[in-house]
Amino acid sequence: MNDHDTRLPDIIAHRGNAIEFPENTLQALESAVALGVRHVEFDVQLTADHVPVVIHDADLTRVGDRPESVHSLSWSQLAAMSVGEVSRLGDRFTGTCAPSLAQTVDAIAGWGDVTAFVEVKRSSMRQFGREAVLRRISEVLQPALDRCVLISFDLAAVKILRLMTGARIGWVLDRYDADSLREATELAPEFLFCNLERVPATTKKLWPGPWDWAIYEVRDLETARHCQELGARYVETMAVRSLRAAYDEAAPKA
């Protein structure tokens, strides 16, 4: 039995410390790193002028309280718009803007041994074409590529990213079923991601393979322990501070 069979799964900050800060912002990501998390995850879309930006949704409705599509805005236009999640966080982060991927790469350079899981969103690939999006994102990530894992729900995109960059890859599962297992076995990615809700309740152990499992939407110690029992090496959470505190409390006392 190796070390990962007995210890709690490592924490991945899902869109940063997104409970306390607007998701996918430099503040959220930097807060997670300051809390001691060594793995962060963020999402990338393309603007109308093909600038990769760190944002989850294809529009600003949820995070910016306005209807524009990210894909219809230039980078300069988007950079002037707040994504402070007023409906969730109030006015505390008014004026906070979505960072470009280039700005985030600069931040990664100062984060020591932190690994960044970079999720390429399907909406951008539908809008601009898979190859164009992947090539543009790969170009911007180049200075930090050895510190990144490139992930997507889009299986074809993950295959292309491996060939295009030689970087580590991860596939985010839409379904936990026999077809997905067959495709994962053929792909043999370094990582598989899955929402815990998609894993059947009868599952005793996650599929074995050459990959490490990352289970997301985990917010508490009990669920993290369950993921560890299933065989997950990582859990992904937005509740970074509270889960870190629970881990610290559960750690054996010297």
pLDDT in tens, 200-228: 999 999 999 999 999 999 999 999 999 99
254 pLDDT band, cuts 50/70/90, is low
Q: Which domains does the chain have, with CATH numbers?
A: 3-57+100-250 (3.20.20.190)
Selection from 131, 133, 139, 183 nearest residue 165 by Cα:
139
Determine the pLDDT at residue 1: 29
Nearest-angstrom CA–CA distance, 3 and 80: 47
CA angle 81, 83, 87 (to 5 degrees): 125
* pTM attached to this predicted model: 0.96
CA angle 174, 66, 137 (to 5 degrees): 50
Pull the structure tokens for residue 251.
């750690």
3 pLDDT band, cuts 50/70/90, is very low
- Indicate the DSSP class of residue 100: B
Determine the pLDDT at residue 253: 77
> What helix, strand, coil percent values describe the chain, rounded to 5?
40, 20, 40
Rounded to the nearest 5°, which phi and psi values hold at 129?
A: 100, 135
Mean pLDDT of the chain: 96
Amino acid residing at 161? L
CB 71 within 8 A of CB 58: yes
Print burial letters for 217-245: b (CB count within 10 Å at least 16), e (below 16).
ebbebebbbbbbebbbbbbbbbbbeebbe
CA distances from 87 to 22, 43, 182, 213 (A): 11, 21, 42, 33
91 pLDDT band, cuts 50/70/90, is very high
6 pLDDT band, cuts 50/70/90, is low
Nearest-angstrom CA–CA distance, 220 and 18: 15
